[in-house]
Amino acid sequence: MRALVVGNSYDRDPGFVGERLTELGYTLVACHREHPDAWPDLDGVDLVVPLGSDWSVYWEHVQSSVVAESQLLRAAHDRSIPVLGICFGAQMLAHTLGGSVARSPEPEIGWYAVESSIPELSGDGPWFQWHADRFTAPPEALQVAASPLAEQAFRIGRTLALQFHPEVTEAIVTRWCRGGADELHRHGRNAELILEQTRSHVSRTARTAAQLVDWFLAEVAGA
**165 catalytically annotated:** yes
Between CA 30 and CA 176, with CA 199 as vertex, the angle to 5 degrees is: 45
Strand order from edge to edge, sheet including 47-50: 27-32, 2-7, 47-50, 83-86, 159-162, 151-156, 142-146
**31 catalytically annotated:** no
Task: Choose, from 31, 131, 167, 201, the residue flagged as catalytic.
Answer: 167
Task: Choose, from 87, 108, 131, 177, the residue flagged as catalytic.
Answer: 87
Task: Choose, from 77, 95, 131, 165, the residue flagged as catalytic.
Answer: 165
Q: Any idea which residues carry the catalytic annotation?
A: 87, 165, 167
